[in-house]
């Protein structure tokens, strides 16, 4: 039985469920265009939260 498959949405494993695959290290060579929003301008103004920002290319 194929119990592990890269292309599937959810791994068919008994003990572990993957809810997000590798995403940070995709397109590393294209990273850093700088067109995205400055994070502190969006809603905080006193703290730094970046992971919720959007990429302008996506």
Partner 1 sequence: MIHAYKMHGENIVLDVNSGAVHVLDDTAYAVLQCYDQNGTLDQEKLKRLTQFEPSALDEAVQEIEALKENHLLFTHDPYEEFIPLWTKQTVVKALCLHIAHDCNLRCSYCFAGTGEYLGARSLMSLEVGKKAIDFLIENSGNRRNLEVDFFGGEPLMNFDVVKEIVRYAREREKEAQKNFRFTITTNVLLLDEDKRNFINEHMHNVVLSLDGRKEINDEVRRRVDGSGCYDRIVPLAKKMVEERKGENYYVRGTFTRKNLDFGADVLHLADLGFEQISVEPVVANKDSGLDIRHEDLDIACQEYERLAKEYVERRKNGQWFNFFHFMVDLEGGPCVAKRLRGCGSGTEYLAVTPEGDLYPCHQFVGQKEFLLGNVFQGLNNNPVRETFVETNVYTKPECNTCWAKFYCSGGCAANAWQFNKDIKVPYDIGCALEKKRVECALWIKSQEAEQE
CB of 10 to partner 1, least distance (A): 8
Exactly one of 1, 2, 7, 21 binds partner 1 (CB under 8 A); which one? 21
56 forms part of the interface with partner 1 (CB under 8 A): yes
23 forms part of the interface with partner 1 (CB under 8 A): yes
Intra-chain end-to-end CA distance of the chain, in Å: 36
In whole angstroms, give the CA distance from residue 4 to residue 16. 11
In whole angstroms, give the CA distance from residue 21 to residue 11. 10
Binding region for partner 1 (CB under 8 A): 4, 6, 13-25, 27-56, 58
């Amino acid at each position: 039985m194929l119990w592990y498959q890269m292309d599937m949405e959810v791994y068919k494993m008994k003990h572990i469920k993957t809810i997000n695959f590798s995403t940070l290290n995709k397109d590393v060579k294209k990273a850093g265009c700088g067109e995205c929003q400055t994070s502190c301008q969006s809603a905080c103004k006193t703290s730094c939260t970046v992971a919720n920002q959007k990429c302008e290319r996506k």
